[in-house]
Amino acid sequence: MTLEQLRCFCKVIETGSFRAAAEQLHRSQPAVSLQVKALERACGQILLQRKSGAPTPAGRRLYNRAIHILSLVESARNELKDFDATAAQTLKAGAGDTTALYILPKVICSFARSLPHVRVTLVNRPTDVLVDLVVKGILDLALVTLPVFHPELEQRKLFTEEIIAVAPSKHALSRRRNLSLHDLAQEPILLLDPSTRTGMILTQHFQQNSFHPLVTLESGSFEVLKRYVAAGLGIAFLPRIALTPADKKIARLSVRGLPSVELGTIWRHGTYQTRAQKTFLEMVLRYANSLKKK
């Protein structure tokens, strides 16, 4: 059993086919197939269903072990690279929309100036997808909405982001103070998609407070919601960080009791955190805190 055999085997499961695995590994499909066959001979078990690329029961058990083994090898490699502060590295990070849109552009620019030898690759996906990518070792870390419950992951809270209500700048409610959700009962609501983490938190909050919004639009994009608010089409609920000085046609409403979301980082349990990873997270934290002071 070799590391190369395990890499090919895991990649077939993760991509769903020998062809896709070969493309990602920059190998030929026959080469990947030979590695998997050699692994099966070494194990004395059929590990993959050839038509679907899905693991057999024995293959699933080996896969759960193999991703741990490959993660440990990668951690050892990264730890040794840290002895050379100028060695070329790649930081594979993931982020949800809030962080990817409003925090990371400036953070990544600053990071590139501070550590020019480290190449950052960023994946923008929902939290649940990012959890899976970190567990599989495809990402080194991800910035997500907490909490995340997974036995193979560690997490660290970075900051809390309040949710605010926003309306068109000349809306009558923008001049009122101490509003409740029920003051919005007859207003058209532009709702964040409940399938997102923040959307789910909002939906649960509405249910707990017996608030039944008149939904005229659902979207998973903060920028789409802001565009519709600016056009005068309704009221939306967004992370405070999403309201920027450029949003001249949008006003914050004084609605009491809205929930907040915790944003943090996740990484695979037991893996080595490189100097680059620690620097990146500290920059994220500093920038997020600086925005709150404005």
Architecture of the domain defined by 3-80: Orthogonal Bundle (1.10)
- Higher pLDDT pick, 229 / 269: 229
Question: Domain 85-159+263-292: which topology?
Answer: D-Maltodextrin-Binding Protein; domain 2 (3.40.190)
Residue 208 confidence (pLDDT) above 80: yes
Residue 286, SS3?
Answer: helix
**Range ranked top by mean pLDDT from 21-30, 80-89, 162-171:** 162-171
CATH 3.40.190.10-classified regions of the chain = 85-159+263-292, 160-261
Instruction: Please state which CATH class domain 160-261 belongs to.
Output: alpha beta
Query: φ, ψ for residue 209 (rounded to 5)?
Result: -105, 15
In terms of C-beta density within 10 A (0-12 exposed, 13-18 middle, 19 or more buried), how is residue 284 classed? buried
Q: What is the pLDDT of residues 160-203, one digit of tens each?
A: 999 999 999 989 999 899 999 999 999 999 999 998 889 999 99
Q: DSSP label at 27?
A: S
The H-assigned helical ranges of the chain are 3-15, 18-25, 29-43, 57-81, 97-102, 104-114, 127-135, 197-208, 222-230, 275-292
- DSSP track, 108-127: HHHHHHH-TTEEEEEEE--H
Distance CA 158, CA 267 (A): 13
Residue 83 confidence (pLDDT) above 70: no
Antiparallel, parallel or unpaired: β 250-253 and 153-168? antiparallel
Cα Rg of the chain (Å, integer): 23
